[in-house]
């Protein structure tokens, strides 16, 4: 695949948004950290440099050797990247006299240049920087300005090297997608042919070549990711795929049997195993959220190891890992971004488990997974299912985990989710769930004092889980759900609704 874009990550919070915007143009891209540039660059046709929390004036800021890239590829440098290129070509970057952050409007545009084709003066852009390009290199032509930022965009003469001080990838840059399209299609001459169908075809061929006649064991969760991974693998290797659904004791109410029933008729070889006792035993007394995640991941691996030994010639463990999982767990493929939390299906296998890992979806965002699933003919109701974390209710119970707490949260969650469906709100929410808090509060029921649990309801809207906003659910709905929970779930006397967005809060509480 040579019709693809290399995005070099300098640690910007927006790097993943660049990738999303590129893929929305039906062009494939990959993110690599600035300090791990691929040795084989012939597979790429264009390069984008991201922003960064660093200042180019800092002696410890990222300054990789980009000479080969700058001499051989069309390059679009964004924010920090624009300042880095300016400095390397002899320009001057200095601290800005004013805080250049937020909305701005283009007051000058060189509309003769392809990058700003069909972009008009007054177009809104988004600034996010404290340094500014005071003087452009002698070899640069000015392409755009705002009232406060003279050098908002420029081009290196006689080269396909473009730089933007603003962020074209964010929503607030109204013509950002068009600018990216101009660069990728009109300047870099990339084809817009990366579609769900093409992804399926390429992935199936790759899986056939990689796996051969070996058998694969896949852990199903009943969710979108593992289901799409299963159908994709089955298309590639047929009956050599062995699916296992593990009951970890942390599933939603009735979910173990419901999931097994859901796969009936899909021609998948699925086996359900009950490992709840092992999970509860391993989690006993553990309160730290990161340790809970790692413990759940370890027991999952032990369960799959036990099952793999029962299948001759099973040399592969398949996982439904997707891009946000990878980004949050290992900092954008090892780049300088901060690790948020570990995911149970990211990070490799222990030495004792003699299986290689195959992750056919690990470079896809959530919405892309759904589009691939539709291309594979998977039931839209299944594809529309809310995301559910791999560690299950284990990371929605703050503090230690017991069967009693799980039973309480299962009932609360069931009332909430079924209520969303009854009120025709389920499909308007990207993800919803309930959290059991490690606090008791005073209440009164039937003229008697109670001292029982508090639960928090969470509902967010998002496209891929990288960012999310809380959903403004109707007050009457929340009132009804609160009453049902308090009246029907013994042990709960208080319900609150979480109105935090991501960032700063994550979707899950742990």
Task: Give the burial class of 272: count Cβ atoms within 10 A of its Cβ; 0-12 exposed, 13-18 middle, 19 or more buried.
Answer: middle
* Closest alpha carbon to 10 in 57, 74, 70, 64: 64
- Cα(37)–Cα(56) distance, rounded to whole angstroms? 19
The answer to whether the CB of 234 falls within 8 A of the CB of 268 is yes
* Residue 420 vs residues 221, 408, 480, 481, 487: alpha-carbon distances, Å: 22, 19, 11, 9, 18
Question: How long is the chain?
Answer: 510
Tokens of 227: 């289901």
Catalytic residues, by residue number, are 79, 167, 169
H helix or E strand, kind and range, residue 456: strand 448-461
Which residue carries 């039937």 as its tokens? 446
CA pair distance 366, 324, nearest whole angstrom: 8
Q: How far is CA 97 from the centre of its chain?
A: 36
Sheet architecture: strand order including 314-318: 270-274, 241-247, 215-220, 314-318, 356-358
């Amino acid at each position: 695949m040579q019709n693809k874009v290399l995005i070099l990550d300098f640690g910007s919070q927006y790097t993943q948004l660049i990738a999303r915007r590129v893929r929305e143009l039906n062009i494939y891209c990959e993110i690599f950290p600035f300090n791990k540039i691929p040795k084989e660059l012939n597979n790429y046709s264009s390069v984008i440099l991201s922003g960064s929390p660093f200042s180019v004036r800092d002696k410890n800021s990222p300054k990789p050797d980009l000479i080969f890239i700058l001499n051989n590829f069309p390059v679009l440098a964004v924010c920090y990247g624009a300042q880095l290129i300016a400095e390397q070509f002899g320009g001057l970057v200095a601290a800005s006299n004013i805080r250049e952050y937020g909305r701005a409007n283009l007051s000058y545009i060189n509309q003769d240049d392809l990058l700003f084709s069909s972009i008009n003066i007054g177009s809104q852009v988004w600034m996010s920087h404290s340094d500014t390009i005071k003087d452009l290199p002698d070899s640069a032509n000015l392409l755009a300005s705002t009232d406060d930022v003279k050098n908002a965009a420029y081009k290196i003469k006689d080269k396909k090297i473009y730089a933007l001080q603003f962020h074209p990838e964010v929503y607030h840059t109204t013509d950002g997608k068009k600018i990216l399209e101009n660069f990728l299609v009109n300047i870099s001459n990339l084809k817009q042919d990366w579609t769900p169908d093409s992804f399926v075809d390429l992935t199936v061929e790759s899986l056939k070549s990689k796996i051969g006649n070996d058998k694969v064991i896949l852990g199903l969760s009943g969710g979108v990711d593992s289901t799409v991974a299963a159908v994709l693998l089955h298309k590639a290797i047929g009956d050599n795929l062995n699916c296992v659904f593990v009951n970890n004791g942390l599933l939603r109410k009735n979910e173990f049997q419901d999931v097994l029933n859901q796969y009936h008729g899909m021609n998948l070889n699925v086996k359900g195993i009950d490992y709840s006792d092992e999970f509860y035993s391993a989690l006993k007394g553990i309160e730290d959220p990161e340790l809970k995640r790692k413990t759940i991941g370890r027991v999952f691996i032990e369960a799959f190891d036990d099952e793999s030994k029962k299948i001759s010639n099973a040399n592969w463990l398949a996982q439904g890992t997707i891009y946000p999982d990878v980004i949050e767990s290992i900092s954008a493929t090892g780049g300088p971004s901060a690790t948020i939390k570990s995911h149970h299906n990211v990070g490799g296998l222990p030495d004792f488990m003699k299986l290689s890992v195959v992750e056919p979806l690990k470079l896809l965002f959530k919405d892309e997974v759904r589009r691939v699933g539709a291309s594979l003919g998977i039931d839209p109701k299944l594809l529309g299912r809310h995301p559910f974390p791999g560690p299950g209710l284990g990371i929605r119970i703050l503090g230690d985990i017991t069967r009693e707490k799980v039973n309480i949260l299962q009932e609360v969650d069931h009332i909430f989710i079924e209520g969303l469906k009854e009120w025709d709100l389920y499909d308007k929410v990207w993800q919803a769930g309930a959290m059991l808090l490690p606090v008791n509060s005073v209440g009164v029921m039937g003229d008697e004092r109670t001292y029982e649990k508090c639960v928090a309801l969470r509902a967010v809207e998002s496209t891929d889980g990288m960012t999310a906003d809380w959903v403004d659910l109707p007050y009457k709905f929340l009132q009804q759900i609160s009453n049902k929970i308090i009246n029907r779930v013994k042990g709960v006397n208080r319900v609150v609704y979480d109105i935090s967005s991501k960032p700063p809060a994550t979707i899950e509480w742990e």
